Amino acid sequence: MTIPENVFVKNAKYVGDYRIAFRFSDGHASEIDFHTFLTAPAQNPMVSQFMDVTRFKDFTIEDRADIVWGDWEMCFPFAALYAGDLAVDSLGKKRGRSAGQVRTRPNIPLGTSTARRKKKVVSNSKRSIRKAPKK
């Protein structure tokens, strides 16, 4: 993602739940829902304090660019705000997994034994082929 030079956050407004809308000096606008990030498994306990909506609403825009809560206890770079995606780093590049993405396991019916859940790997000379176990 290419971010224009000399652009800054003109306005940031809390819009409800854990969403903040951003307007930029070049007319661009984005809205980010921070809920998934805040509730991600194994999240830093320092971040969980911002699940309190009153604390979450108390953010600042530093140097007309980054959004910051508290004494830099939680912050996101300008590029993520402009892109409307928390997985974008400060250089405007998308990271592999979003900070707010939750990795899920496939649905496995209750009562299915562990042995039946695993897939069997069979090798041949060219590549590995995954086969479901026989019932």
Q: How many domains does the chain have?
A: 1
pLDDT per residue as tens digits for the range 7-16: 999 999 999 9
Residue 112 within any structural domain of the chain: no
Residue 49 within any structural domain of the chain: yes
pLDDT over 80 (residue 84): yes
Beta bridge partners of 17: none
User: pLDDT band at residue 81, thresholds of 50, 70 and 90?
Assistant: very high
pLDDT over 80 (residue 1): no
pLDDT of res. 5: 79
Residue 89 within any structural domain of the chain: no
Cα(111)–Cα(58) distance, integer angstroms:
47
pLDDT per residue as tens digits for the range 104-114: 333 334 443 44
Q: What is the pTM of this model?
A: 0.65
Give the residue numbers spanning the domain of 51. Answer: 9-83
Residue 107 within any structural domain of the chain: no
Instruction: Sort strands 74-76 and 66-69 into parallel, antiparallel or unpaired.
Output: antiparallel
Name every residue whose Cβ is closer than 8 Å to that of residue 63 and which is 6 or more positions away in sequence. Answer: none
Residue 32 within any structural domain of the chain: yes
Mapping DSSP to helix (H, G, I), strand (E, B) and coil, where does residue 11 land?
Answer: strand
CATH number of the domain where residue 39 is located: 3.30.2020
Please identify which residue in the block is written with the tokens 């809308």: 21
